[in-house]
Amino acid sequence: NTHSAQFEDDDSIGTWFKGDSGAWRVEDGRLYISGSTEFLMLVGPSTQFAGDIDVSVTTEWIEGIDNNSYGIRIRQSAAGSYGFGIAASGSYILSEGEEGASAPVQLRDWRISNLINAEGSNTLRIVAQGSQLSLYMNGTLLDQLSDNSHTSGWISLYVSGLQEVAFDNLTVIEIGGEPLLK
């Protein structure tokens, strides 16, 4: 099954979770998320995914502090989640958040990559197959690692810190399994 969001208007994400530590709006076919100095600003569909998934989204950094992360969170549950983020300065991170932890654990410390269009448009993709996590940037494999802490849950788009990012063409492909909740 393939799920996609094109962000036509506010109603296109009417049932989505929208955090309260920032702001969001749908404009010109894109979802704009603004972060804050508080927690991550999360916006995501209300569907939970079990099994293996392939998630991609196109981003464009609009303005703000260029060393804060933004991107995709997957397999979110009460136990935690994985977060694949980039910064407009041209680096990326993979983190794993655990329930009750004050800060996520960095599975991949910040790394600079010339595959990232600094302060520009990028397509992030994370493929989670079993314990294997594969990170892609603009169509090219960026990194891979193995972690089996989280196996199912929600996905969301996120922005941390004082910056604004536009998201477009969110696609979720279920490689195996069915959604737990529609």
Q: What is the pLDDT of residues 58-116, one digit of tens each?
A: 999 999 999 999 999 999 998 889 999 999 999 999 999 876 666 678 899 899 999 99
Strands 23-27 and 53-64: unpaired
* Euclidean distance between CA atoms 153 and 150, whole angstroms: 8
For CA atoms 35, 37, 42, 43, the dihedral sign is negative
- Residue 177: its pLDDT value, please? 53
pTM for this model (two decimals): 0.92
Asked if pLDDT for residue 135 goes beyond 90, the answer is yes
pLDDT tens, 15-71? 999 999 999 999 999 999 999 987 789 999 998 998 899 999 999 999 999 999 999
The alpha carbon torsion through 35, 40, 45, 47 (nearest 10 deg) reads 180
The DSSP secondary-structure symbol of 27 reads E
Pair 47, 77: CB distance under 8 Å: no
